[in-house]
Chains A and B, each alone.
Chain A
Amino acid sequence: MRAEQRWCGDQHLLLVIGDSVTLANVLRVIDLNHRLLESELAPLIVETVPTWCSILIHYDIDKTNPSQFSSALGTFLAGVVETETVTLESRLVTLPVLYGGAAGPDLEFVAQANDLSPEEAVRRLSTGTHFVGMISFIPGQANCMWLEPELVLSAPKYATPRTKTPEGTVGLGGSSIALYSVPSPGGFQMVGRMPVPTYSAYPVLPPFEESPILLRAGDRLRLRSVKREEYDDVAQAVREGRYRYDIEESVMTVAVGEEAMGGGAPQGS
């Protein structure tokens, strides 16, 4: 497999496998990241940050040095055979969302930008399957892309980002969905809000006993449309610790085709 290596200081390498945000690229990233962490290089790796089309690798400078690691990585990549399909563990997680109104003040703008009624925009958001490509930027923020091309909505991001976005907000920017896990600045259009947390520093509900983060790269999401009454009921159940997430364990196999790119060792030394 060909990929480009780029230096990031003295302990990190950026491995770039593509130059576009596509499902095929992010699936290759997830797959390559798994293989890397199961390879004989794993003991040299502190951790990785897989994103849309690159993987940041933190290597352990007490065990290796930059040129040694880079050349070992090159050897590893040369041995990676690109497959036509990628198979990965992919849970199907269904989350309730109240769309529009105060919960999603930008829904009408998004509908207009796509020449649709607000009802049709909600139908596309709530019936589509959203693939979690990466968890990034802030703790637990899931960044997703639609698996059904015919349902995709697009909207420009805010020209000037907001300073505050309420936690639980469902945002749309470009053609991706982001779930705001903690209150944060943001530039995505706010289309709805979830009454359930996707991040919790304390184990207030079962999934958080293992990790403060609900979602993982590779998960698929359904953002089911709920009415105000159900939103309030669910919020109450969350507060009382009674809420149970709708999570279905499964495995997914997707075709990724082939797409080679130039590359080699990082430039300079």
Chain B
Amino acid sequence: MELLRVLKPGLSTTIQDPGRRGCLELGIPTGGAADAYSHLLANAVVGNEPTAATLEMMLLGASFAMLREARIAVAGADMLFQVNGEEAAMGRAVDVHEGEVISFGKARAGCFGYLAVAGGFDGTIAIGSRSTYVPGRLGGHFGRALKKGDILSQLEEGRRADAGEAPRDLVAWPWQHDAIRFVRGPQAEYFSEAGYSSFTTEPYAVSTRSNRMAYRLEGPIPELVPIPRTSDTGSGPTDIIEDGNVVGAIQLAGGTEPICMGRDCPSTGAYAKIGCVITPDVSRMFQMQPGDTFRFQEVSVAEAFEISREMSAVIQGFSMW
């Protein structure tokens, strides 16, 4: 069912879902919504399963002409969501009608905004997912960001939930980024205790050279421990034998530049990783805009697991209204 036509595509608007599994060993990233939390929240508000595809908008939102009536919801970045020029609420089911215009502007808080529609957006399924992976031209709408004039369809609605509304603090949760929690390793031996100390006390800023592939960070270089170099590792101080990458892993590229791996990051990397951001905070990380500052906070694996479980319980509890 044709749902809407793109009037303005925004900076980079793509179809996303929770991503694709089982293809990292082929060099294809998991991908999916940068802020997985807000993707789930927007879906939950309109009664969708977490796997339903949403539209992800980055920094500058898009605008659309509705081709039929639909129930929609918006979560993630606050991008001045409007229906026919009137500001509309985020985190709430909104019924829109044929001929109406829904529009988004520049993000006031957060980086990635999500538009969900009851039933979910349709799009090409590639390797089990509708997520758009632009470098591999996979999934979504012809494997690319939306352009003016594109027409998107929705899938049939399943059960139509009562009009839902997410509490304000759930909507605003991903915008809080004072502390980003991480677990030490997997190459902790490359960093001294003084290195970890400065890493967790000094502020870091998100660089303008950040995208879905990687968030480049500006801040102090953690002190390194000299590790013997071999022809297999390479000559740089943080060069390692290529190993598997994790979304949220913080590499120290060339021994100087901290880079947090994004949803579309390469499947492997060859720089030492000082730590990995815990699952819920990965969503917060990618809601930061270039120039935003934050601090890293170390937690144990057990703590990280408990925090992750609590967050998924919050979302699940909210979805079962």
Interface residues of A (CB under 8 A from B): 6-12, 14, 16, 19-21, 46-56, 58, 61-62, 65-67, 134-141, 143, 174, 181-182, 184, 199, 201, 211-213, 217, 266-269
A139–B27 contact, CB under 8 A? yes
Taking CB as reference atom, which chain B residue is nearest A143?
B242
User: Chain A residues with Cβ under 8 A from B24's Cβ?
Assistant: 47-49, 56, 58
User: Nearest 6 CB-CB pairs, A to B?
Assistant: A56-B244, A49-B244, A9-B276, A10-B304, A6-B186, A136-B268
* Partner-binding segment picked from B4-12, B135-143, B149-157: B135-143
Q: How far is the CA of A212 from the CA of B22 in the complex (A)?
A: 13
Q: In the complex, which of the residues B27, B127, B242 has the most CB atoms of chain A within 10 Å of its own CB atom?
A: B27
A8–B22 contact, CB under 8 A? no
A47–B22 contact, CB under 8 A? yes
Taken residue by residue from 226 to 266, chain B's Cβ proximity to chain A (1 for < 8 Å, 0 otherwise) reads as 00001110000000011111101100000000000000001
Contact of B244 among A54, A212, A266 (CB under 8 A): A54
- Nearest-CB distance from B155 to chain A (Å)? 22
Assuming the A-B contacts A12-B276, A201-B138, A268-B301, are A51 and B28 also in contact, with contact meaning beta carbons closer than 8 angstroms in the complex?
A: no
B143–A9 contact, CB under 8 A? no
Interface residues of B (CB under 8 A from A): 21-28, 126-127, 135-138, 143, 182-188, 230-232, 241-246, 248-249, 266-268, 273, 276-279, 300-302, 304-305, 307-309, 312
Assuming the A-B contacts A10-B183, A66-B305, A140-B27, are A51 and B277 also in contact, with contact meaning beta carbons closer than 8 angstroms in the complex?
A: no
Assuming the A-B contacts A67-B302, A138-B27, A211-B26, are A7 and B243 also in contact, with contact meaning beta carbons closer than 8 angstroms in the complex?
A: no
Contact of B27 among A21, A52, A135, A269 (CB under 8 A): A135
User: Chain B residues with Cβ under 8 A from A54's Cβ?
Assistant: 241, 243-244
Assuming the A-B contacts A8-B276, A14-B244, A21-B241, are A49 and B136 also in contact, with contact meaning beta carbons closer than 8 angstroms in the complex?
A: no
- Nearest-CB distance from A124 to chain B (Å)? 19
Contact of B268 among A7, A66, A137, A269 (CB under 8 A): A137
Assuming the A-B contacts A9-B277, A14-B186, are A201 and B309 also in contact, with contact meaning beta carbons closer than 8 angstroms in the complex?
A: no
Contact of A10 among B138, B244, B245, B279 (CB under 8 A): B279
Q: How far is the CA of A211 from the CA of B22 in the complex (A)?
A: 12
Q: In the complex, which of the residues A12, A46, A52, A269 has the most CB atoms of chain B within 10 Å of its own CB atom?
A: A12
Contact of A8 among B26, B273, B308 (CB under 8 A): B273
Q: How far is the CA of A62 from the CA of B249 in the complex (A)?
A: 21
Contact of A7 among B21, B185, B245, B277 (CB under 8 A): B185
Q: How far is the CA of A217 from the CA of B321 in the complex (A)?
A: 46
Assuming the A-B contacts A14-B243, A201-B143, are A136 and B27 also in contact, with contact meaning beta carbons closer than 8 angstroms in the complex?
A: yes
User: Chain B residues with Cβ under 8 A from A56's Cβ?
Assistant: 24, 243-246
- Nearest-CB distance from A24 to chain B (Å)? 13
User: Chain B residues with Cβ under 8 A from A217's Cβ?
Assistant: 25
Assuming the A-B contacts A49-B24, A266-B185, are A66 and B301 also in contact, with contact meaning beta carbons closer than 8 angstroms in the complex?
A: yes
- Nearest-CB distance from A60 to chain B (Å)? 10
Contact of B126 among A47, A50, A212, A268 (CB under 8 A): A212
Contact of B136 among A137, A211, A212 (CB under 8 A): A212
Q: How far is the CA of A131 from the CA of B172 in the complex (A)?
A: 50
B136–A6 contact, CB under 8 A? no
Q: How far is the CA of A268 from the CA of B276 in the complex (A)?
A: 14
Contact of B26 among A55, A67, A140 (CB under 8 A): A140
User: Chain B residues with Cβ under 8 A from A9's Cβ?
Assistant: 182-183, 246, 248-249, 276-279, 304
User: Chain A residues with Cβ under 8 A from B184's Cβ?
Assistant: 7, 268
B185–A212 contact, CB under 8 A? no
Taking CB as reference atom, which chain B residue is nearest A157?
B234
A138–B302 contact, CB under 8 A? no
Q: How far is the CA of A145 from the CA of B138 in the complex (A)?
A: 29
Q: How far is the CA of A11 from the CA of B28 in the complex (A)?
A: 19
A135–B266 contact, CB under 8 A? no
Contact of B242 among A51, A65, A212, A267 (CB under 8 A): A51
Taking CB as reference atom, which chain A residue is nearest B142?
A201
Show 26 A/B contacts (Cβ-Cβ < 8 Å), sorted by A: A7-B183, A7-B186, A8-B185, A8-B276, A9-B183, A9-B278, A16-B243, A19-B241, A20-B232, A47-B25, A49-B25, A49-B245, A51-B244, A134-B268, A136-B27, A137-B266, A137-B268, A138-B27, A139-B28, A174-B231, A211-B26, A212-B127, A268-B184, A268-B185, A269-B300, A269-B301
User: Chain B residues with Cβ under 8 A from A66's Cβ?
Assistant: 301-302, 304-305
Taking CB as reference atom, which chain B residue is nearest A20?
B232
Taking CB as reference atom, which chain A residue is nearest B24?
A49
Other 12 A-B pairs with CB < 8 A, given A19-B241, A49-B244:
A8-B183, A8-B186, A9-B276, A14-B244, A47-B23, A48-B24, A49-B243, A50-B25, A58-B24, A65-B305, A140-B27, A143-B242
Q: How far is the CA of A141 from the CA of B307 in the complex (A)?
A: 36
User: Chain A residues with Cβ under 8 A from B308's Cβ?
Assistant: 10-11, 61
A61–B28 contact, CB under 8 A? no
User: Chain B residues with Cβ under 8 A from A212's Cβ?
Assistant: 26, 28, 126-127, 136, 138
Q: How far is the CA of A268 from the CA of B302 in the complex (A)?
A: 10
A10–B28 contact, CB under 8 A? no
B302–A21 contact, CB under 8 A? no
